[in-house]
């Protein structure tokens, strides 16, 4: 059952119960008050009749010693038809409670008669022939006789009024229920609208529309729920986008990897086939074997770099304080001069929180790239400087430079600006990808500035403290 229908049903049940119970008590209360009033009047009438009877008995001529039964009947008949309330019903009985006189239509019931006592008035409600009466009884002392006077007051109308009251109330309750059901239905629809909007948004998201958000139409708890839902949807959308990007990057990586693998393998297979199928002269034999060797070497370099990247990604980082001199001396030993390019190393002394071997690998890659990009006779400058927030490394060359649109891509695995130039240097476009992974571990990023034809500058900052290190890494 829909939530809005549940709200509607609960309200109808509550209202029906409230009106039903309230109406019952109200009508009954009115009825009881009316009945009590009637009982009071019936008892008053009975007292008045008693005095009237006693007065009439006193006026009987004194020739009678005792009040004769015939006189009693006569007085009874007179009282029945005389004065206000003529046509009243009464019954007179003697000392033995034997009926002496009874109006026509008076009940034959003698239960009350048996209960009448001296000085007290008795009454009961009787229900003969679908009518209701208040029957009263009182003792009458006339001359030397003790008589019993009973009256009957018709209260059928009071009961009929109660029945009518219940009927009116039932009708009224039904009408109110119908009207309020319509109002409650609209109300429940309005109350549950945020839920419907949320359900629609959830369905659209399930169908793949991750950008869909639910409209917030209130500021109450429902509005808060909508806000939370939208926030959750945003997080889910971002995560899905990240996952999709990751999957795309992986696919690109596999495609580039297969491509990079295919080129050297084709050369190796081709030259190997040539060597085994024909007898070549010494020079061609050497050239073919050399191709197989160099391409094999390239494959080896590529697989080692790939392994480095994978290992670095899963690496449990344990940084230690490393002396800047250790890093730069190592670089100086390797690159004093390479391929006619002079490598100038200048650094400020200091201690850096880093993994020594990983940082050496980054500096080596950047210096190697700078040397490869430079013409013989030019200069590569490797700098180490202390900054407020960390130790800054930079490698600057005056080589070929990188076009601006390529700068973003060169850190992707297998990306090479000039493929033939890179391959001729045994490159596979993996060096910078490895640098980025290592710098990520150190909470750092690679900054690239380059102008085609003028040169490039690659730099990165290693934060001083482990705390900022980790925070930067999380970013």
Please report, as ranges, the residues that interact with ligand ADP according to CB under 6 A: 365, 369-370, 373, 397, 399-402, 410, 415-418, 422, 427-433, 456
Q: In angstroms, what is the minimal distance from the CB of 436 to ligand ADP? A: 9
Q: How many CB atoms lie within 10 A of CB 376?
A: 10
Residues 279 and 470: their CA atoms lie apart, in Å, by 62
Residues 6+ apart with CB under 8 A from 18: none
Residues 246 and 217: their CA atoms lie apart, in Å, by 36
Select the residue whose beta carbon is closest to ligand ADP and give its number. Answer: 427
Helices (H), 278-373: 282-313, 324-335, 356-373
Q: In angstroms, what is the minimal distance from the CB of 267 to ligand ADP? A: 17
Q: Between 68 and 424, name the residue whose CB sits nearer to ligand ADP.
A: 424
Q: In angstroms, what is the minimal distance from the CB of 269 to ligand ADP? A: 23
Task: Single out the residue of 126, 144, 145, 143 nearest to residue 135, CA to CA.
Answer: 126
Q: Long-range contacts of range 170-175, CB-CB < 8 Å, 24 or more positions apart?
A: 170/23, 172/19, 172/23, 173/16, 173/19, 173/20, 173/23
Write down the residue that tokens 């019936």 correspond to: 42
Query: E strands, 331-454, where?
Result: 337-338, 341-347, 351-354, 379-386, 390-396, 447-451
Q: Between 399 and 463, name the residue whose CB sits nearer to ligand ADP.
A: 399
Q: In angstroms, what is the minimal distance from the CB of 325 to ligand ADP? A: 25
| Alpha carbon 294 to its chain's center | 63
Q: In angstroms, what is the minimal distance from the CB of 208 to ligand ADP? A: 36
Q: Between 155 and 416, name the residue whose CB sits nearer to ligand ADP.
A: 416
Q: Between 213 and 423, name the residue whose CB sits nearer to ligand ADP.
A: 423
Q: Between 393 and 469, name the residue whose CB sits nearer to ligand ADP.
A: 393
Q: Between 38 and 397, name the residue whose CB sits nearer to ligand ADP.
A: 397
Q: In angstroms, what is the minimal distance from the CB of 255 to ligand ADP? A: 17
Q: Between 324 and 341, name the residue whose CB sits nearer to ligand ADP.
A: 341
Token pair for 254 = 């596999």
Q: In angstroms, what is the minimal distance from the CB of 463 to ligand ADP? A: 24
Q: Between 210 and 415, name the residue whose CB sits nearer to ligand ADP.
A: 415
Q: In angstroms, what is the minimal distance from the CB of 368 to ligand ADP? A: 7
Angle at 252 between CA 248 and CA 255, to 5 degrees: 140
Q: Between 155 and 380, name the residue whose CB sits nearer to ligand ADP.
A: 380
Angle at 48 between CA 115 and CA 159, to 5 degrees: 65
Token pair for 174 = 């039904």
Residues 12 and 188: their CA atoms lie apart, in Å, by 12
Contact 455, 396 (CB under 8 A): yes
Q: Between 150 and 260, name the residue whose CB sits nearer to ligand ADP.
A: 260
Grouping H, G, I as helix, E, B as strand and the rest as coil, residue 166 is helix
Q: In angstroms, what is the minimal distance from the CB of 258 to ligand ADP? A: 17
Residues 7 and 1: their CA atoms lie apart, in Å, by 10
279: DSSP letter = P
The half-sphere exposure of 113 on its side-chain side, counting CA atoms within 13 A, is 23
Q: In angstroms, what is the minimal distance from the CB of 300 to ligand ADP? A: 13
Question: Directed axis angle between helix 221-277 and helix 193-206, to 10°?
Answer: 0
């Amino acid at each position: 059952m829909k939530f809005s229908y549940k709200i509607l049903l609960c309200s109808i049940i509550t209202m029906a119960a409230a009106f039903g119970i309230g109406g019952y008590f109200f009508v009954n209360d009115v009825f009881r008050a009316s009945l009590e009033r009637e009982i009071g009047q019936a008892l008053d009438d009975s007292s008045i009749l008693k005095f009237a009877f006693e007065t009439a008995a006193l006026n009987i001529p004194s020739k009678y010693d005792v009040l004769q039964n015939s006189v009693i009947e006569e007085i009874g008949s007179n009282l029945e038809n005389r004065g206000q309330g003529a046509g009243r019903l009464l019954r007179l009985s003697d000392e033995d409670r034997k009926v002496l006189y009874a109006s026509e239509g008076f009940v034959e019931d003698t239960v009350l008669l048996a209960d009448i006592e001296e000085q007290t008035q008795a009454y009961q409600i009787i229900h003969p022939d679908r009518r209701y009466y208040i029957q009263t009884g009182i003792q009458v002392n006339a001359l030397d006789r003790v008589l019993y006077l009973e009256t009957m007051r018709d209260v059928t109308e009071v009961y009929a009024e109660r029945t009518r009251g219940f009927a009116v109330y039932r009708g009224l309750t039904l009408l109110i229920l119908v009207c309020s059901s319509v109002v409650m239905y609209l109300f429940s629809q309005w109350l549950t609208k945020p839920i419907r909007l949320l359900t629609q948004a959830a369905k659209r998201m399930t169908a793949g529309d991750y950008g869909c958000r639910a409209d917030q139409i209130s500021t109450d708890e429902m509005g808060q729920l909508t806000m939370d839902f939208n926030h959750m949807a945003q997080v889910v959308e971002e995560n899905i986008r990240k996952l999709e990007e990751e999957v795309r990057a992986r696919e690109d990586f596999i495609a580039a990897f297969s491509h990079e693998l295919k080129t050297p393998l084709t050369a190796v297979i081709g030259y190997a086939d040539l060597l085994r199928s024909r007898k070549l002269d010494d020079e061609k034999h050497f050239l073919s074997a050399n191709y197989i060797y160099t391409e094999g070497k390239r494959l080896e370099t590529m697989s080692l770099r790939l392994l480095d990247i994978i290992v670095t990604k899963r690496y449990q980082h344990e940084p230690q304080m490393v002396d800047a001199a250790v890093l730069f001396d190592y670089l100086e030993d390797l690159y004093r001069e390479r391929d006619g390019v002079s490598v100038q190393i200048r650094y400020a002394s200091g201690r850096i929180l880093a993994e020594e071997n990983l940082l050496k690998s980054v500096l080596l890659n950047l210096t190697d790239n700078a040397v490869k990009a430079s013409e013989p006779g030019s200069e590569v400058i490797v700098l180490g400087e202390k900054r407020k927030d960390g130790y800054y490394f930079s490698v600057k060359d005056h080589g070929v430079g990188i076009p601006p649109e390529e700068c973003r891509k060169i850190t992707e695995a297998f990306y090479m600006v000039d493929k033939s130039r890179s391959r001729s240097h045994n490159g596979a476009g993996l060096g910078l990808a490895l640098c980025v992974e290592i710098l990520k571990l150190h909470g750092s990023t690679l900054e690239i500035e380059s102008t085609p034809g003028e040169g490039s500058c690659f730099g990165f900052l290693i934060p001083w403290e482990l705390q900022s290190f980790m925070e930067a890494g999380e970013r």
